[in-house]
Amino acid sequence: IISAEFDRRSTLRAMLRNQHGIVDDTRGSGGRNKSPEVTAFVLFFATFTMVIGKELSTVEVKPHNPTSRKSLTNLDDDMEVAKTIAKAQIDLGYHTLSLMRVRKLSPEPVTYKLLIQACGRCRVTHRAQQLMEMLARDGLATNSEIYTSLITAFSGGNENEPSALAIYRESNASEAASSVTGASIPLMGRRKTEGSEHSSISELTSPDSTKKKRDRIKNAMSSFSSNRKLFKKPRSKRKVVSSSSPSSLTKKKNLRTTPSIVTQIELGESLLDSLYPGLVIDTESDACPKCAKTLTEDDIISGWTPCASKNYQTCCPSCNTKFVPKFSVSCNSSSFEGSQGRGTSLYCDYLSPWVLLREIRSVISATEGIESVLNEKFRSGSDIKATLWWNLIVTFRRYKLPYIFLLQGSFQNQLILPSPSLTESMTDIHAA
């Protein structure tokens, strides 16, 4: 049995190296950050943002009879529900992005870019102001890719609502006019003057609610525009975590979270346990093949080589021997397929966030997209796919990130809803 398991894992590892994986991690893709925690956040956004707006796109291509009033009414209802779900998904993405600031992690541009692009796909702009303010605070206003994505995402929307692109142009025109007349009022944090600053806005919009919304976005865009210049200077001295040394690794129990994230994590744990009764994921029992020291999960993480997306090995803290770590997954379900068949434990290579990010991106690119990963068949066997899926669960659990979206393939109802309580969510969810 031991020999068979060794051969199985060796074969899977060879297939991972040969059949999957992006050769080079291109600039700005997020795989070059030395922090495993930051890379775990990048992995979250690389997968979760592809889920955002799926219901909306499905409704948009849904066939309907344009001459039937009932058909149009149903379509409008479906569209409204899909938009509500998309907003809830954007909210979860925003709260997860905010979690990086709570933990004082160095910002990774690709996380902003992916979330902003998702906002653009869904035409959801209710988080535009907060995102622009966060970009300014994190000193990323000069990033050209983020800036382009921001303008593209928030340049459209409801025709009755202000366009962020139009406001940005208006802000630039106002800035240019100020420079000609010698005005020295800074864009960032400037106060509203009587009449002059709002005359052009009031001409464009008459309702008070629209005007206020336009003003808020205008101020945010003004701050963002100003900070593109301000942040060409050295960034703020805000203390961030960027080291990959063992001393900088935050223990799981000490990771800070927020109520909104805790709710999603708890719901994900409940649903995962319902799918896999008596689930046990053991990441603390792997031993060094040379000195037999049992490595903790933090030992394994600290032994990974940062940014090495092709390196599957960790380093033993006792004897410095390099080896491929593993973890095991078991549950009480007789239908669970492990390494040696149904009812046995599944042994998986423990992949670093850098390796996992590369592999998941490759799978998504080579298949039908994120749907292949969400499909419960993806994780039902004991092959490479199951190894990748359970590594996603292990990584997100280790860094206390939401993973409920990975379970969507096993449920009919949408799992991410607008600010639900845990009790209400559990009541409304039914297994497929």
At 323 the pLDDT is: 97
The pLDDT score that the predictor gives to residue 129 is 82
At 169, the pLDDT band (50, 70, 90 cuts) reads very low
141 near 224, Cβ under 8 Å? yes
For residues 238 and 131, the model is more confident at 131
The confidence band for 307, taking pLDDT boundaries of 50, 70 and 90, is: very high
Other beta carbons less than 10 A from residue 240's beta carbon: 18
Q: What pLDDT does 60 receive?
A: 56
Alpha helices (runs of H) in 279-349, residue ranges in sequence order: 297-303
Give residue for tokens 């509500």.
Answer: 84
Radius of gyration of the chain (CA): 24
User: What mean pLDDT comes out for the span 103-114?
Assistant: 90
271's CB contacts (< 8 A; 6+ apart) are 404, 407, 410, 411, 415, 429
Pairwise CA distance, residues 218 & 201, whole Å: 10
Q: pLDDT for 170-209, tens place per residue? A: 444 444 444 444 443 333 333 344 443 333 333 333 455 5
- The 10s digit of each residue's pLDDT in 365-407 is 888 789 999 999 999 988 999 999 999 999 999 999 999 999 9
pLDDT tens-digit series, residues 314-344: 999 999 999 999 999 999 998 999 999 999 9
- Tokens (6 digits) for 292: 């037999």
Relative to beta strand 322-323, strand 314-315 is antiparallel
Confidence grade of residue 150 (pLDDT, cut at 50, 70, 90): confident
